[in-house]
Chain A
Amino acid sequence: MNLSLSPLPLIVGLALAGAIFYLVRRNHLHGPYAAGWLALAAVIIVVSIWPRSIDWASQLVGIYYPPILVSMLAIAALLLKSLVGDLERSQQERSLRRLSQKLAILENELERLKRGEALPPASHDDPD
């Protein structure tokens, strides 16, 4: 029995890595996200070349049914990814709200300037 190489995961890992590089190259994927996806591809490639690594890692952390380690790690990674996504979305929401407010304020000032009104000098720095 050949335990040294499993071709399917290897293909998946290489395809994922290729796809990520392609997306970055085409400017569809923001750099920092690419690093995480490439790390995942690297793990898949390592595991496909050396399947025993899962048994070894399971023993290391005291799990006696190695496949469950893979599932657990996958679920944990998804949860983490989803939480980080929500955090980033919250920050984006905050920025979007503040930009919209600022846009409305500047639009008001621009209209008034166009009408020839004098504006008071900005009395406080408006935090972005």
Chain B
Amino acid sequence: MHPSDCLIVIPAFNEAATVAKVVAGAREATGSPVLVVSDASEDDTVAQAEAAGARVLALPIRLGAWCAIQAGLRYARRHGYRQVVTIDADGQHPVSALVDLCAALADSDVVIGTCPQRLSVAKRIAWAYFRLLTGLRVVDVTSGLRAYGEPALELLVQREASLLDYQDIGVLLLLAAQDMRIDELPVAMSEREVGKSRVFSSWLSVTRYMIHTTVLCLAQVGRSAPPAETEMTST
């Protein structure tokens, strides 16, 4: 697939320090257009991103990481892109992985860039728990490095996906319910740029996240996929 068929989407909330570098790196590595979605940033993330050559969507109010990404997916679909790769704005993901992720979409609907060495013991336990709960066979469920193919895009721009808050299990469950093929691609991550996790920043937010996601998982139990065609033509 031609690089111009793929859009790189970078959700950013107050990432002025790093966003320009990620934008420049992604453009150079892929040759694809880059879209930064500013989640109502209060610093000059928008100006930095534009100066680095990105297109920018500036959300008027803060919607959270997933809905910022969804805005990017809606933009991509509206403008005829057939693939989207998402990457964090804090520079923790290597831009060299973007091309590999796109290439891996030839056999999958969704490819997750997994950084195994990043996972702490707490995270490993948490993800094992969610794997058990959902039956998903994904090692790193919260990785922000993901590639979506056309069928996944078509599904994720729908209203049904707009009440999710994180680009994680809720999104994967939605995809799995439609029998989308989800694969993982191990990605080496540079140690020095390991960023802080929004979810794992404090015990309170971890607890809230675990409860929130458990409810989400339990609510999906026994929910079978509706016939793909009726769902897909409802756009």
Q: Which residues of A contact B (CB under 8 A)?
A: 90, 93-94, 96-98, 100-105, 107-108, 119-120, 122-128
Contacts and interface: CB of A to CB of B under 8 A. Distances in A.
Given A104-B71, A126-B77, A127-B158, 12 more contacts: A98-B159, A100-B60, A100-B63, A102-B74, A104-B57, A104-B60, A107-B57, A108-B75, A122-B79, A123-B79, A125-B235, A126-B74
Given A104-B37, A108-B55, A126 B157 contact: yes
Given A97-B162, A100-B60, A108-B57, A123 B80 contact: yes
Given A90-B163, A105-B71, A123 B77 contact: yes
Contact of B58 (A107, A124, A125, A128): A107
B63 A124 contact: no
19 contacts: A98-B159, A100-B67, A100-B71, A101-B57, A103-B60, A104-B58, A104-B59, A104-B60, A105-B74, A107-B58, A108-B55, A122-B78, A123-B77, A123-B80, A124-B78, A125-B235, A126-B78, A127-B158, A127-B235
Contact of A124 (B60, B70, B235): B235
A-B pairs, 4 with minimum CB distance:
A123-B80, A101-B71, A104-B57, A126-B78
Contacts of B159: 94, 98, 127-128
B56 interface: yes
B229 to A, nearest CB: 17
A97 B67 CA distance: 7
Nearest to A101: B71
Contacts of B60: 100, 103-104
Range of interface residues on chain B?
20 to 34
Nearest to B82: A123
B215 interface: no
A127 B158 CA distance: 6
Contact of B78 (A90, A103, A105, A107): A105
